[in-house]
A and B are shown apart, each in its own frame.
Chain A
Amino acid sequence: EDKVVQSPLSLVVHEGDTVTLNCSYEVTNFRSLLWYKQEKKAPTFLFMLTSSGIEKKSGRLSSILDKKELSSILNITATQTGDSAIYLCAVVVSSNTGKLIFGQGTTLQVKP
């Protein structure tokens, strides 16, 4: 059975801290891995990663896939209160349908 596991499940930090969120997967047919941010409503897209191992960056956020370890990390530097959200990791398990298997999510709270 395909499985995606995120850790930690929740995290509390102070503004300015750096955080690393983890996502590991066991799937039969890996295509890509996506990160989403969810603030109280719809998930919004952050990054898509492939087996190429190329790091993706956007401002203070960065992410990379380790295909040997079957995992990905999402780094957030100099955290701000606006980074408080649930971060979701999802793996594409079918290129024909684009079906995603999601992890449980990591709830990040950034305190002032």
Chain B
Amino acid sequence: NAGVTQTPKFRILKIGQSMTLQCTQDMNHNYMYWYRQDPGMGLKLIYYSVGAGITDKGEVPNGYNVSRSTTEDFPLRLELAAPSQTSVYFCASRGGLAGGWYEQYFGPGTRLTVT
């Protein structure tokens, strides 16, 4: 199993450009999450999905969009990039087994710089 994979690893965007961060998991997990991590700030939830076709906003959704057409893929779209979106982005997934097991598995991250 590859687990959770993210592409690209690094990206530099100009202000106003758009891009999609890709996230794929091969564990057949229902739950998927997008976080951003700024220095000294921990991880902040951007969007999440509880299954194909179902998404919802997290703590910091402004400037982002998501879709979930399949169980495996959960792309994050940045429209009109701004310097405030410079961050490291992590995708995570969770199986949602019975018994309240909440461990999330994280991808390797995408480092995005907007200049």
Contact with A along B28-50 (1 / 0, CB 8 A): 00010101000011111100101
Interface residues, chain B, with chain A CB atoms under 8 Å away: 4, 31, 33, 35, 40-45, 48, 50, 56, 58-59, 90, 94, 96, 100-109
* A74 → chain B closest CB, angstroms: 15
- Further 19 A-B residue pairs, CB within 8 A, beyond A34-B104, A100-B104: A9-B40, A31-B100, A32-B100, A42-B4, A42-B107, A42-B109, A43-B43, A44-B106, A45-B103, A48-B101, A97-B50, A98-B102, A99-B33, A100-B33, A100-B45, A101-B45, A102-B35, A103-B42, A104-B40
**How far does the alpha carbon of A70 sit from the alpha carbon of B90 in the complex, in Å?**
28
Stretch from A61-69, A76-84, A88-96 contacting the other chain: A88-96
For B45, what are the chain A residues with a Cβ–Cβ distance below 8 Å? 99-101
**How far does the alpha carbon of A96 sit from the alpha carbon of B90 in the complex, in Å?**
21
Interface residues, chain A, with chain B CB atoms under 8 Å away: 4, 6, 9, 31-32, 34, 41-45, 48, 50, 88, 90, 92, 95-105
For B90, what are the chain A residues with a Cβ–Cβ distance below 8 Å? 42-43
**How far does the alpha carbon of A104 sit from the alpha carbon of B42 in the complex, in Å?**
4
A104→B102 contact, CB < 8 A: no
A92→B102 contact, CB < 8 A: yes
A97→B42 contact, CB < 8 A: no
Q: With contacts A42-B90, A88-B42 known, is A96 near B50, CB below 8 A? A: yes
A98→B42 contact, CB < 8 A: no
A105→B40 contact, CB < 8 A: yes
**How far does the alpha carbon of A31 sit from the alpha carbon of B102 in the complex, in Å?**
9
B106→A100 contact, CB < 8 A: no
B41→A104 contact, CB < 8 A: yes
* B36 → chain A closest CB, angstroms: 11
For A6, what are the chain B residues with a Cβ–Cβ distance below 8 Å? 42
Q: Which chain A residue lies CB-closest to B90?
A: A42
